Copies of this chain bind each other. A is one copy, B any other.
Amino acid sequence: MMATKEKALLTERQALSSSGLRITSQRALILDIIGRGHEHLDADEIYRQARKKDPRLSLSTVYRNLQMLKKAGVIDELRFGESRHHYEIKSAVEHHHLVCLGCGKVVEFKCRLCPEMRKDVARKEGFDITGVEVTMTGYCAKCRQGRR
């Protein structure tokens, strides 16, 4: 059986090849870094990690690729109330984000009630809804203790 990470990587690469974008070493590297784990990195973090493997990589290339990969539907751009954007591989499963205000950890969660909520709003407001984004903030179990 194939390991999850390999499978995920394969999917990313497939998405990349079928996106019409050329596969350059820089682009593959950037995508691999975004795909590793669920770290929700920002552009500069991706840049710094990528430079370890390719020291000649430029920050503009990172930004340009983030834009293109986003437009191609390979990655999603997230905002957690900071000034910077964060990125993740586009997931087949809709999920949302919970940010710990203590340690900055970001947890993904699935939202059982969202489909109904979406229908509710569409009907009430007469909108054709294309996206639902839920961001919760709070304190994780660990950080909660310190605040007592």
Residues of A that sit less than 8 Å from B by CB: 77, 79, 81, 98, 100-101, 107, 109, 111-114, 116-118, 120-122, 124-141, 144
- Contacts A134-B133, A135-B133; is A144 near B128 (CB within 8 Å)? yes
Let me know if A120 and B113 touch, CB within 8 A: yes
Residues of B contacting A113 in the complex (Cβ-Cβ under 8 angstroms): 113, 116-117, 120
Let me know if A130 and B112 touch, CB within 8 A: no
Let me know if B136 and A129 touch, CB within 8 A: yes
Let me know if B139 and A130 touch, CB within 8 A: yes
Supply 28 A–B pairs (Cβ within 8 Å), ascending by A.
A79-B81, A81-B133, A98-B129, A107-B127, A109-B121, A111-B117, A111-B121, A112-B117, A113-B116, A113-B117, A114-B117, A118-B136, A121-B136, A125-B140, A126-B140, A127-B140, A127-B141, A127-B144, A129-B136, A129-B137, A130-B138, A130-B139, A131-B136, A131-B137, A132-B134, A133-B136, A133-B137, A135-B135
Distance in angstroms between the alpha carbons of A127 and B127 in the assembled complex: 33
User: Which 3 A/B pairs are nearest by Cβ-Cβ distance?
Assistant: A129-B138, A126-B141, A131-B137
